[in-house]
Structure 1
Amino acid sequence: MASSRPTLPFDPFALAQAAGEAAVGLAARPAELLTVQMEAARQWSDFWTGAVTGKATDKPRDRRFSAPEWQDDPYYRAMRDAYLLASKQLRETVGKAAGDTPQGAMARFLLDQYLNAIAPTNFATTNPEVVKRTKETGGANLVQGFLNLLEDVGSGKGIVQRRTDPDAFKKGDTVAATRGAVVYENELFQLIQYDPTTDKVAAEPLLYVPPLVNRYYMIDLVPRQSLVKWLVDEGRTVFVISWINPGPEHKDKGVEDYVLSGIVEAVGQVRKRAGAAPDLFSFCLGGTLAAIALAWLAAKGRANEVNSATLIGSLVDFSDMRDWAAFVHESHLTALEDHLEAQGFVDSLELQRLFAAMRANDLIWSSVVNHYLLDRPAPPSDLLYWFEDGARIPAAFLKSYNRELLLENRLTDAAGFKVGDAAIDLADITTPMLVIALKDDHVSAWDAVYRGARHLKAEFVLGGSGHNAGVINPPANNKHSFWTNSKQPADAKQWLETATRHEGSWWPWWTKWLDDKGNGKQVAARQPKKPIEPAPGRYVMMP
């Protein structure tokens, strides 16, 4: 008889054990512990001397302390600096005690959660903005904030569910609104083709491979932010894979299914409809799957079915997972597999909570302050609306991906991973490839992406900003920067030191790269044929 015991997608005992090991780590090295204590005493002596004499300190690059009082008022400045110094010392101490291991990553993760939670910005009496607001409203902000908290708890989804206004956007109307049609579908994906807006288009069509964890329309937000619309207006034929939101019936769909029945099938459909091999472009996990698909095509002698491939914020070498290493651990994987066996998939809310915890200040505590203490309405954000519109991942896929790719890092070994009867060797890929990393990426660290680019023998570009925002960078906004370098030294920092910085968006540079990899011809604009339904289609609407 199956157990009805609720399961967790992680092992809390492994976290507790890691914390305990870190706590006794330095105690076993008394000489080193004494050095740490002496240095901490010196730093606190300097801090109190500065605080008593009124010496102003430099403003930190920390958005939590952006209010002018944190810099101008001695009381708040001292509180800020004391918190930041204590946080720095604790992180350094745990780093020394725990080391660069999965257990160390878990200890650092727990410490970060604690330090983020106790920041003075999170409390009504120690946040100058909240103090000011409370005086202005006579405390009404705290009363309404408490009601907001009760409403969120009553929703059953936990606290902090209002990072953005959920009613500000509508799929197919204000976001995911570029005109097009679903032209093919199977049990895993719908294929969307967008209506042309130019008389002539590039001979090579584009096919986008999104990650499974979110819907495809990060690249089709509001029109002024839409990469899809920009590409179509630039004279490109754009196709997009829209993955189904899987349920229990998809429990046994694994990596092989998403590669063969997903990406390879979509490539074939695009070739059939456009009459040319597509340029793939992909994001995050979608890029990892695209690389596997390219290696599979190469192993089958079908490499010419794809003209080029662009991987954005994607990892193929998982040897350095940074903070994410805290959950790439045998105990967590076993707990997750038990959870998946009982449920059949990992739920989108569980994934969102994990991503939010990894960026707690931006995605949790800023909302706590704004929603529960300041009683400010959640601002409309198309990117956050997309982020919260998550998707599930089937059990078989996540088991294989987590264990074989993340934990065992098999893609870096020749023939270390199989899709069907084909051994996947990324070195066999002959398709022209471009890898784009994002400088402030918290999910796929840019230097880890760079190592993957060298492994793939791909060209490399570094964009500005973070994992999601760095992708959505319309040229008209003239934001961020990007870096190029024709050389690829082993050390990523050396690459950056000798790279050329370019102001603005990398989008135009990328389409020029696509032109260079194409045949240079233009053809008559391609209209979607035999449409099944208008874009964005049913799959992206699935709850």
Structure 2
Amino acid sequence: MAHEFLRQAPDRPESLVTYLPQTIPAAAFAPAGSPHAPTESAHRHAALDRGAMASLARLTGGISPHAVLDAWSDWTMHLARAPGRQLELAERAQANWLKLAQFALSGLSGTFGEKPFPPGPHDTRWSHEGWDKTPFTLWQQGFLGLQDWWQAATGDLRGLRKQNAERTGCMMRQLLDTVSPANFPLANPEILERSLSTGGRNLVEGAAHFLDDACHIVAQEHRPVPEDFALGKVLACTPGAVVFRNDLMELIQYAPATRTVRPEPVLIVPAWIMKYYILDLSAQNSFIRWLVAQGYTVFCISWRNPSADHADLSLEDYRTKGIMRAVEAINAIVPGQRVHANGYCLGGTLLAIAAAAMARDGDDRLASITLMAAQVDFAEAGELLLFLDESQVAFLEDMMWAQGYLDRPQMSGAFALIRSEDLIWSRSVRRYFLGEQDMPTDISVWLRDTTRMPARMHSEYLRGVFLENRITAGRFAVEGRVIALKDISVPMFVIGTESDHIAPWRSVYKTLLFTDCDLHFLLTKGGHNTGILSEPGHPRRHYRLGHRPAGALYCDPDSWLAAQEPAEGSWWPEWARWLDGHSGAPMPARLLGAAQRGYPPLEPAPGSYIHQA
């Protein structure tokens, strides 16, 4: 492995600059012929370092051991010099044992009292009624009592970096989850009950599921979309056509569903981390299908799934070849009309960058901007921030340098760890011990249909946007000039979701802090995906909506929340009313594409990039 990197290093000097400028001093990359020009030896030594780190990254799943050790050593040293906290933890341990003893004694009468350690809101491991009976309830409470103690032990400590406190707490939860009684057949009443009723058939079927999953993991195979959820037939089936394609994206235009449409078209910019059809799932919850039915000409970007050949694609490429090229195509297909731009998740972050650059340059082709669960400031970026610091980013950069991209398992694993008790352990128990098949749904099929991310682009995003928070710090440059979100003057509609752990709503709300334009902020019930997929008729949904006029004073998120009364139902019609208010009078519906202007329909929606594995 090291020999291969050494052999290739002289032919790839630019990659060392592009992906990890801090690996070796800048002088090492001086122009050829200068007194400080890099030597072949410098490239070889750097490549050896990066090759070694890339090999280690494959073994650790992309988690930097240096970051792990730093967190634990920071926590250990601060705890060692804090006798007050040590005494507090000793007292808490004593109190927890006393609670457990009292709970156990209450069961001697035949019925247990109230459980002293209730499970968390996302912890579904204890839903079976058997966990209320002896001895299982004692094992459960013993485990949750230990979990409670470690949560206190890894809490904030004077002098301890907050990120390291949260990181040690997260890692300890992962370690404790491996020894949960719910994971062991003889300690889990649901597994015992199922084994007795089926004669052990569930364990045989579970073993088959385990072998099947193991084979796919070892082979790194991408599971195809089930036939019951075929793309273009069941999912992503809104009628339309690809009207433009380049090496980075396909632009889909959807066929009108009404006789008249609003003059201004809508461009949807999805995240590149997953495929676009989260917004065009089944017919009943497709955001795109619903929007077309409201009388709009809708376009959507479908990003390609990059391979190692696309390692040099940059964040700027995604802006120019993606958003800006799409706007150019739409202007040709729908001439004379400004565009309503809608960005989801990372697509919204990229759209904000593009919109700020357009505003700076006097480009007025946007009619409005909608950001759905999208952040522009990453100082409070949620639980994903636990996994990112300089050491972790450098580790990922070395791994991507070797591969050319960030692969699916390396990306999805970080998301799963955040809700490991449900996304990892509960699923494992159901599949491997209860013998249950994964019952696919439209959203679970989409979740498994992940994509790769080009090395250069993802490095630029992690370092410049996420880690260094350059967008709102006034240090993010487009075409050599810094952008500012306050330059945006078109109306904005920003949507956050209440239980979003990827883009926490208070972080999304900070868009109000860095903009001066007329802005509506809407907070809806649900998580990062389920809150956005909130079609009319969806039960038990509500939202809150507030309006900040252009130039108004800032209101902090907690004060805003206290002032907004919840409204029942879906937020989609509320957004459509806002969009209507910034659109012209209806006109006859348009045909797909514009062959006479160089944009003929190329193939039916959903195109070909969506099928790339």
TM-score (ref. length: structure 1): 0.94
Contact between 2:89 and 2:152, CA under 8 Å: does it hold in 1? Answer: no
Q: Is residue 2:585 matched to residue 1:524?
A: no
Give 3-state SS (helix, strand or coil) of 1:477's partner.
coil
Contact between 2:384 and 2:414, CA under 8 Å: does it hold in 1? Answer: no
1:509 corresponds in structure 2 to 574
Contact between 1:298 and 1:428, CA under 8 Å: does it hold in 2? Answer: yes
Give 3-state SS (helix, strand or coil) of 2:135's partner.
helix
* Per-residue deviation, 1:7: 4.8
Contact between 1:453 and 1:459, CA under 8 Å: does it hold in 2? Answer: no
1:370 corresponds in structure 2 to 430
Distance 1:493 1:76, change over 3 A: farther
**Aligned partner of 1:33: which letter?**
Q
* Whole-Å separation in 1 of the counterparts to 2:218 and 2:327: 38
2:82 corresponds in structure 1 to 29
Q: Is residue 2:262 matched to residue 1:192?
A: no
Which of 372, 386, 409 in structure 2 is aligned with 1:312?
A: 372
Name the stretch that deviates more: 53-62 or 24-33. Answer: 53-62
Distance 1:528 1:508, change over 3 A: same
Contact between 2:315 and 2:457, CA under 8 Å: does it hold in 1? Answer: yes
**Greater gyration radius:** 2
1:278 corresponds in structure 2 to 339
2:3 corresponds in structure 1 to none
* Whole-Å separation in 1 of the counterparts to 2:470 and 2:453: 21
**Aligned partner of 2:141: which letter?**
D
Contact between 1:463 and 1:483, CA under 8 Å: does it hold in 2? Answer: yes
2:560 corresponds in structure 1 to 495
* Per-residue deviation, 1:158: 8.2
Contact between 1:216 and 1:241, CA under 8 Å: does it hold in 2? Answer: yes
CA offsets per residue over residues 488-537 of structure 1, 9 Å max, x none? 86432222222110112111111111112223x10111221220011111
Q: Is residue 2:47 matched to residue 1:47?
A: no
2:15 corresponds in structure 1 to none
Give 3-state SS (helix, strand or coil) of 1:65's partner.
coil
* Whole-Å separation in 2 of the counterparts to 1:293 and 1:37: 54
CA offsets per residue over residues 381-416 of structure 1, 9 Å max, x none? 1111111111111111111111111111111123x1
* Whole-Å separation in 1 of the counterparts to 2:313 and 2:346: 16
Give 3-state SS (helix, strand or coil) of 1:365's partner.
helix
Distance 1:274 1:194, change over 3 A: same
**Aligned partner of 2:178: which letter?**
A
Higher relative contact order (CA 8 A, sep 6+): 1
Give 3-state SS (helix, strand or coil) of 1:505's partner.
coil
Distance 1:157 1:426, change over 3 A: farther
1:20 corresponds in structure 2 to 73
Distance 1:159 1:268, change over 3 A: closer
Which of 248, 256, 259 in structure 1 is aligned with 2:319?
A: 259
2:13 corresponds in structure 1 to none
Give 3-state SS (helix, strand or coil) of 2:155's partner.
helix
Contact between 1:152 and 1:160, CA under 8 Å: does it hold in 2? Answer: no
**Aligned partner of 1:435: which letter?**
V
* Whole-Å separation in 2 of the counterparts to 1:89 and 1:156: 35
* Whole-Å separation in 1 of the counterparts to 2:431 and 2:99: 37
Distance 1:69 1:502, change over 3 A: farther
Which of 247, 256, 259 in structure 1 is aligned with 2:307?
A: 247
For 1:38-187, what aligned pairs fall within 5 Å after superposition? 38-53=91-106, 54-57=112-115, 60=119, 61=121, 62-70=123-131, 72-97=132-157, 99-157=160-218, 166-187=226-247
Contact between 2:521 and 2:545, CA under 8 Å: does it hold in 1? Answer: yes
For 1:102-501, what aligned pairs fall within 5 Å after superposition? 102-157=163-218, 166-275=226-335, 276-302=337-363, 304-414=364-474, 416-457=475-516, 458-486=519-547, 490-501=555-566
Contact between 1:294 and 1:431, CA under 8 Å: does it hold in 2? Answer: no
Contact between 1:203 and 1:523, CA under 8 Å: does it hold in 2? Answer: yes
Distance 1:470 1:29, change over 3 A: same
Q: Which runs of 5+ in 2 are unaligned?
A: 1-5, 8-47, 107-111, 594-599
Distance 1:129 1:95, change over 3 A: same
* Per-residue deviation, 1:190: 0.5
* Per-residue deviation, 1:200: 0.8
Give 3-state SS (helix, strand or coil) of 2:502's partner.
coil
Give 3-state SS (helix, strand or coil) of 1:63's partner.
coil
Distance 1:527 1:68, change over 3 A: farther
CA offsets per residue over residues 22-51 of structure 1, 9 Å max, x none? 234312211221022213312331332133
CA offsets per residue over residues 110-156 of structure 1, 9 Å max, x none? 11212333332222122222111011011121122122212221223
2:612 corresponds in structure 1 to 542
* Per-residue deviation, 1:198: 0.8
Name the stretch that deviates more: 78-87 or 227-236. Answer: 78-87
**Aligned partner of 1:214: which letter?**
M
The Cα RMSD (Å) is: 2.2
Contact between 2:202 and 2:435, CA under 8 Å: does it hold in 1? Answer: yes
* Whole-Å separation in 2 of the counterparts to 1:160 and 1:397: 24
* Whole-Å separation in 1 of the counterparts to 2:300 and 2:380: 30
Give 3-state SS (helix, strand or coil) of 1:193's partner.
strand
* Whole-Å separation in 2 of the counterparts to 1:192 and 1:116: 44
* Whole-Å separation in 1 of the counterparts to 2:149 and 2:198: 38
Q: Which runs of 5+ in 1 are unaligned?
A: none
* Whole-Å separation in 2 of the counterparts to 1:202 and 1:238: 10
**Aligned partner of 1:27: which letter?**
A
Distance 1:466 1:455, change over 3 A: same
Name the stretch that deviates more: 486-495 or 152-161. Answer: 152-161
* Per-residue deviation, 1:426: 1.1
* Per-residue deviation, 1:436: 0.5
* Whole-Å separation in 2 of the counterparts to 1:112 and 1:161: 29
**Aligned partner of 2:284: which letter?**
R
Contact between 2:349 and 2:376, CA under 8 Å: does it hold in 1? Answer: yes
Give 3-state SS (helix, strand or coil) of 2:359's partner.
helix
Count of aligned positions: 538
* Whole-Å separation in 2 of the counterparts to 1:159 and 1:255: 27
Name the stretch that deviates more: 131-140 or 88-97. Answer: 88-97
Give 3-state SS (helix, strand or coil) of 2:187's partner.
coil
CA offsets per residue over residues 403-443 of structure 1, 9 Å max, x none? 111111111123x1111133211111112111101111111
Distance 1:160 1:82, change over 3 A: farther
* Whole-Å separation in 2 of the counterparts to 1:494 and 1:90: 33
Distance 1:429 1:486, change over 3 A: closer
Contact between 1:318 and 1:409, CA under 8 Å: does it hold in 2? Answer: yes
* Whole-Å separation in 2 of the counterparts to 1:190 and 1:353: 28
* Whole-Å separation in 1 of the counterparts to 2:546 and 2:540: 20
* Whole-Å separation in 2 of the counterparts to 1:28 and 1:160: 49
Give 3-state SS (helix, strand or coil) of 2:228's partner.
coil
* Whole-Å separation in 1 of the counterparts to 2:218 and 2:499: 29
